[in-house]
Chains A and B, each alone.
Chain A
């Protein structure tokens, strides 16, 4: 019995010291998967950059099903990971319940707001970046019809769509915008076949530039556009390299910077809401060697001017999530 007690005690001490030594940051990727070439992959690049620069390790978890959300969060918190970063609005409800149970752990959620004293919520002005790529789409379109394909039908994606539509109308008020959502469940983030079919359907309605804000589903959209010799627009990560010459630009959302910063701050993560927009480089449009031939100097000048005006507050891009309405007509 005493022997048993000693062993148990030793084990407990070991476990405690392990926790203390293990103040590693952790990241949880959403269902789209770490390699979705888009949102989650951007987060991964942020974490990888941190690991490379500091030489430290971090923990990661890729959830496969809805049920794993709370399980993953609790497990990482119990292992002593700090801070725990999660990518995706879908974690909001779970985090709301889990965060109070681990008051000493700092949580960071990207894309949603959770009001707990130990949670930092990072949200982006997607409408601003989408506005810029919308302008580019309208300038590149020859048919006067542009498309938008969203992932899961949620207000956040409507925000992309609405910003995009406003950008299109700013350049070409008469252009038609066709909008589609892939689905209403999280599997809509990972259905490239359906994405490709939606793109084909929009092309048959005349669209020759399509913005895909749909995670892994967008890969199918970009593929279809490249196959047809038309233009796609990537999202979240810079996706210009996927089909050089057929990806007009990407609406870059610097999730990587958000994750990198959170990891850097470690336990000093500041709870509260942090907004990243054009002004602090949280969103942008991509311009690199893969798409520089598609964007003429005039187009670039026009977009850069608009970018400056948005930062200065001269152009106000309407945020769909403030009133769940879009001032622009989308078919």
Chain B
């Protein structure tokens, strides 16, 4: 494996890790506020379909992104309504949304485009094009760090850079603003927040809406950057991997960056090598594809550090009994 190959694999990891990162941060906001969200997958799927459809019709990737975010936020609102207002079981609501998205995306796409539940391929305007950062060529000529800038950092679509900026932004919102403090508190001890005179309901709704915003961007990334157009079940379990990454990251933004990029790296590696040979070991790529889940189980079992979820997570808040 030479240097250029390593850079190429890392570049591919970034591309494949970005939707995971966005979805993971989405889950982080929601779960930190005490709303478990197993429906990341469904929201991404709905967003991917809507943004693919709108980007195709308008030939404008930004409108596609907006439509995707809109679809995901709608799903978030349903989740919020079921689990916050009506105090339903959050897991059941999430699973229901996943099924809803899985069936509805194909149904709607089929009735709009008659292409077997896919959207047509997007033209040049409908996709986010890779951006070449300034001086990429000049700096790329420098041996050693040059290729890192030219091939790894430059040449991604705008959504990738937005996703990476979301990490410090999330950290800042959660740990440096009043809203963030309250959001974290509402996930740990909603009664205390309530006693302080802050609305638990409103905080939790804003958290699920932010979750919708980010999953919307993740879904739009899938259909307008990574691929060109929506295809049936195109999220392919990425929502669940993002959940695994969230647990792996122990519900922290910077760790989330690390874990999603690690999982993206596994995916890139398994795409690149059919079998990986490490000395005498033969590792088939199914093992690589399963690694995120295996690692999550290991973390949950408490072998590597301890993952403690927000204490009030999964429980609807009841003001008085």
**B213 CB, min distance to chain A CBs, angstroms:** 23
- Give A179's nearest chain B residue, CB to CB: B274
Contact in complex: B12, A193 (CB < 8 Å):
no
Q: Is the CB–CB distance between A33 and B226 below 8 Å?
A: no
Query: Which of B4, B117, B286 is the one whose CB lies under 8 Å from A184?
Result: B286
Interface-central residue, B116, B232, B268, by most chain A CB under 10 Å: B116
- Establish whether residues A204 and B4, one from each chain, have CB atoms under 8 Å apart when the complex forms: yes
Contact B115 A223 (CB under 8 A): no
In the complex, which residues of chain A have a beta carbon less than 8 angstroms from the beta carbon of B5? 204-205
Let me know if A220 and B271 touch, CB within 8 A. Answer: no
Given contacts A193-B227, A223-B228, contact A201 B121 (CB under 8 A): no
Contact A180 B274 (CB under 8 A): yes
Specify which chain A residues have a CB less than 8 angstroms from the CB of B4 in the assembled complex: 204
A102 within 8 A of B: no
Query: Cβ of B286 and Cβ of A194 under 8 Å apart?
Result: no
Contacts of B118 in A (CB 8 A): 33, 35
- Judge whether B116 and A193 touch: CB under 8 Å: no
Minimum C-beta distance from B163 to chain A (A) = 16
Contacts of A219 in B (CB 8 A): 121
- For the complex, what is the distance from the CA of A184 to the CA of B234, rounded to whole Å? 18
Q: Check if A216 is an interface residue, CB within 8 A of chain B.
A: yes
CB within 8 Å of B: which A208-259 residues: 216, 219-220, 223, 242
In the complex, the answer to whether A35 meets B115 with C-beta atoms within 8 Å is yes
Residues of chain A lying within 8 A (CB to CB) of residue B268: 197
Is B101 at the interface (CB under 8 A from chain A)? no
User: Is B126 interfacial (CB 8 A cutoff)?
Assistant: no
Q: Does A141 contact B (CB under 8 A)?
A: no
B116 and A33 within 8 A (CB): yes
Q: Is the CB of B116 within 8 A of A34?
A: yes
Q: B216: CB under 8 A from chain A?
A: no
B209 within 8 A of A: no
Number of interface residues of B (CB under 8 A): 24
Within the assembled complex, what's the spacing in Å between the Cα atoms of A242 and B123? 11
Contact present for B8 and A192 (CB under 8 Å): no
**CB within 8 A of B227: which of A181, A192, A201?**
A192
Chain A contacts of B232 at CB under 8 A? 33, 190
Nearest Cβ in chain A — how far from B319, in angstroms? 45
**A180, A204, A223: residue with the most chain B Cβ atoms closer than 10 Å:** A204
Are A201 and B271 closer than 8 Å at their CB atoms? yes
Q: Which of A187, A190, A193 contacts B226 (CB under 8 A)?
A: A193
- How far is it, in angstroms, between the C-alpha of A242 and the C-alpha of B236 when the chains are bound? 25
Contact B116 A194, beta carbon cutoff 8 Å: no
- CB-defined contacts of A220 to chain B, threshold 8 Å: 227
Q: List residues 218-235 of chain B with CB under 8 A from any CB of chain A.
A: 222, 226-228, 231-232, 234
Q: Is A198 an interface residue (CB 8 A)?
A: yes
Contact partners of A200 in chain B: CB under 8 A: 8, 12
User: In the assembly, what is the distance between CA of A115 and CA of B16, in Å?
Assistant: 45
Instruction: Say yes or no: is B250 at the interface (Cβ < 8 Å to chain A).
Output: no
* B117 contacts across to A, CB distance below 8 A: 33
Across the interface, which residues of B come within 8 angstroms of A242, CB to CB? 121
Could you tell me the distance between the alpha carbons of A193 and B226 in the complex, rounded to whole angstroms? 6
Q: Contacts A33-B116, A180-B274, A242-B121 known; A197 to B16 CB distance under 8 Å?
A: yes
Q: Mark A159-181, 1 if CB is under 8 A from B, else 0.
A: 00000000000000000000011
B128 to chain A: closest CB distance in Å?
A: 12
Could you tell me if A197 and B286 are in contact, using CB atoms closer than 8 angstroms? no
Within the complex, the shortest CB–CB distance from B242 to chain A, in Å, comes to 15
* Cα–Cα, bound, A205→B121 (Å): 27
Q: Is A191's CB within 8 Å of the partner chain B? A: yes
Q: Closest chain A residue to B4 by CB distance?
A: A204
B272 interfacial contact with A, CB 8 Å: yes
Q: With an 8 A cutoff between CB atoms, is A196 at the interface?
A: yes
1/0 per residue A66-85: CB within 8 Å of B?
00000000000000000000
Q: How far is the CA of A200 from the CA of B268 in the complex (A)?
A: 11
Q: A36-B116, A62-B116, A184-B286 are in contact. List 19 more A-B contacts (CB 8 A).
A: A33-B118, A34-B116, A35-B115, A35-B118, A180-B274, A187-B236, A190-B232, A192-B227, A193-B227, A193-B234, A196-B227, A198-B271, A200-B12, A201-B8, A204-B4, A204-B5, A204-B8, A223-B121, A223-B227
Q: A-contacting residues of B (Cβ < 8 Å)? A: 4-5, 8, 12, 15-16, 115-118, 121, 222, 226-228, 231-232, 234, 236, 268, 271-272, 274, 286
> Which A-B residue pairs are the 4 nearest by beta carbons?
A35-B116, A204-B8, A33-B116, A35-B115
30 inter-chain pairs at a CB distance below 8 angstroms, sorted by A residue, are: A33-B116, A33-B232, A35-B115, A35-B118, A36-B116, A62-B116, A184-B286, A187-B236, A190-B232, A191-B236, A192-B227, A192-B231, A193-B222, A193-B234, A194-B271, A197-B12, A197-B15, A197-B16, A197-B271, A200-B8, A200-B12, A201-B8, A201-B272, A204-B4, A204-B5, A205-B5, A219-B121, A220-B227, A223-B121, A242-B121
